[in-house]
């Protein structure tokens, strides 16, 4: 039973393909797949509302409002009734113009609370996607009334706000990209029969091992060069390895810690091994990974990191911290190695071990590739996700609860 002919795809700034991040890639791929079956309007926190088809451009402004929808402009706490009323008015105009049958909440951490409140209060079926520990906090504060209760009654009245209806949670279906996140929220957003774990997929043919395996130790870091992503830990670990175990270093990404990390590597004489340092086009990432043999991701906070999925698919041996959903990807000593976040000494030991043994890397990467092919194929991921959208349980009360958990693994 298809319930969505028109979809409002709410996604902050995360559908734009020029960035490497997993959220951006996922948002782009899913919005395009949805646009093949329905009319999709992308609502962005950057004042973009773009009606899209499967072949239309993904950029361009339509009726830019005078006030941004991002929470940087409309605070989560001390806001005026006029600001709330204005934010709600923009949402109502967009809803009236597009008449969606369903709202898909893809990435909502940058939206103003009044915007989220109005979207949830619209009375439409909702699908919420959660790919890290932070994405759901904003929605939870709306659903449980925390934000509404924090406002002075006069501000609520001036803003025209009313409490959400009791059936709001019954209209929400939650999709988590790993078991860790489902357990983390533990029913705080929706009931267990209205949630699913759907592992994200990728093109396993594009991200495939090279024809000839990379025999030497060519290291890679892919992601934002920040302390939270463990970039400085990455640099410190490589700085502790002897030059004969570090054939090359490729840093794919940019960020505030990039210069400091490069200085660490150059100080110990690894500067000549650096073959790249900066962002790359999404279309080039698969080829870039195929020239590597070891990925290090010593991150301090993750959901299910897409770069680890991509590296494992491409035959690159992955070493990562055991945070978030990483243990659902890396079975320690079988499909890669894990260490505690912040344990640089442990990271050094693991990096040394895999760098010194081509045979070990081959064994780990072969098992890792098999796991990705079995569980993270792109078509299967899209099929399961589209099934949630186009057979939303809020519109299937006659048939009872949705059977989403039957495909949640």
Q: Is residue 73 in a domain? A: yes
66 and 104 inside one domain = yes
Say whether both 241 and 386 belong to one domain. no
User: Does residue 190 lie in a domain region?
Assistant: yes
In what order do the strands lie in the sheet containing 126-130? Answer: 49-52, 39-43, 6-10, 102-105, 126-130, 172-176, 195-197
pLDDT at 104: 95
Residue 340 forms part of a structural domain: yes
Q: Mean pLDDT per segment of 10 residues, for the chain of length 409 residues?
A: 78 65 81 92 64 35 34 46 84 92 90 89 94 88 92 90 91 95 93 93 95 96 95 98 97 96 97 94 90 98 95 98 97 97 98 98 98 96 94 52 33
Please check whether residues 324 and 339 belong to one and the same domain: yes
Domain-located, residue 206: no
Q: Do 303 and 333 have their domain in common?
A: yes
Q: Are residues 152 and 230 in the same domain?
A: no
Residue 16: predicted pLDDT:
60
Is 210 inside any structural domain? no
What pairing do the DSSP bridges indicate for beta strands 294-297 and 218-222?
A: parallel
Structural domain span for residue 329: 218-375
Shared-domain flag, residues 189 and 257: no
Same domain, 137 and 271: no
Which DSSP helix (H) or strand (E) runs through 337? strand 337-339
- End-to-end, the C-alpha distance of the chain in Å comes to 23
Describe the crossing of helices 306-313 and 358-375 by its angle, rounded to 10 degrees.
110
* Per-residue tokens: 317: 């041996």
How does DSSP assign 115-151, residue by residue?
A: HHHHHHHT---EEEEE-SSSHHHHHHHHHTSHHHHHS
The domain that contains 11 carries what CATH number?
3.40.50.2000
pLDDT tens, residue by residue, 306-360: 999 999 999 999 999 999 999 999 999 999 999 999 999 999 999 999 999 999 9
What is the pLDDT, as a whole number, of residue 274? Answer: 98
* 21 belongs to a structural domain: yes
pLDDT of residue 65: 34
The answer on 320 and 225 residing in a single domain is yes
Same-domain pairing of 122 and 239: no
Domain match, 272 and 155 both: no
Same domain for 294 and 345? yes
Residues 253 and 363 in one domain: yes
Domain assignment present for 162: yes
What is the pLDDT, as a whole number, of residue 74? 37
Residue 212 lies in a domain: no
Overall number of domains in the chain: 2
Model pLDDT, residue 18: 58
């Amino acid at each position: 039973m298809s319930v969505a002919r028109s979809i409002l795809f709410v996604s902050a700034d995360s559908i734009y393909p020029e960035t490497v991040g997993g959220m951006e890639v996922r948002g782009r791929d899913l919005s395009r797949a949805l646009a093949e079956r329905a009319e999709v309007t992308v609502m962005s926190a950057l004042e973009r509302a773009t009606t899209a088809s499967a072949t239309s451009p993904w950029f361009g402004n339509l009726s830019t409002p005078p006030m941004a929808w991002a929470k940087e402009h409309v605070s989560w706490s001390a806001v005026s009734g006029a600001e709330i009323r204005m934010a709600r008015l923009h949402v109502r105009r967009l809803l009236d113009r597009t008449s969606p049958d369903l709202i898909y909440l893809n990435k909502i951490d940058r939206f103003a609370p009044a915007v989220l409140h109005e979207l949830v209060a619209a009375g439409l079926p909702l699908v919420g996607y959660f790919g890290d520990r932070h994405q759901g906090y904003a929605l939870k504060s709306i659903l449980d009334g925390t934000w509404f209760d924090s406002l002075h009654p006069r501000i609520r009245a001036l803003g025209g706000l009313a409490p959400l209806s009791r059936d709001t949670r019954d209209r929400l279906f939650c999709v988590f990209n790993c078991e860790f996140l489902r357990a983390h929220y533990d029913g705080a957003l929706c009931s267990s029969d209205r949630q699913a774990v759907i592992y994200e997929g990728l093109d396993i043919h594009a991200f495939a091992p090279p024809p000839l395996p990379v025999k030497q130790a060519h290291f890679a870091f892919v992601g934002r060069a920040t302390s939270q992503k463990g970039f400085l830990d990455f640099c410190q670990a490589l700085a502790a390895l002897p030059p004969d175990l570090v054939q090359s270093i490729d840093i794919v990404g940019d960020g505030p810690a990039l210069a400091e990390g490069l200085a660490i590597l150059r100080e110990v004489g690894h500067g000549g091994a650096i073959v790249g340092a900066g962002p790359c086009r999404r279309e080039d990432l698969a080829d870039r990974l195929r020239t590597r043999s070891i990925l290090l991701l010593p991150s301090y906070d993750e959901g299910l990191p897409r770069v680890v999925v991509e590296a494992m698919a491409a035959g690159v041996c992955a070493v990562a911290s055991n945070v978030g959903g990483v243990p659902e990807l890396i079975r320690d000593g079988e499909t890669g190695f894990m260490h505690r976040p912040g344990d640089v000494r442990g990271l050094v030991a693991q990096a040394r071990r895999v760098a010194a043994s081509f045979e070990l890397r081959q064994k780990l990467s072969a098992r890792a590739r098999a796991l990705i092919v079995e569980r993270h194929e792109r078509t299967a991921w899209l099929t399961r996700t589209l099934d949630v959208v186009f057979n939303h349980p809020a519109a299937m009360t006659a048939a009872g609860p949705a059977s989403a958990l039957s495909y949640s693994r």
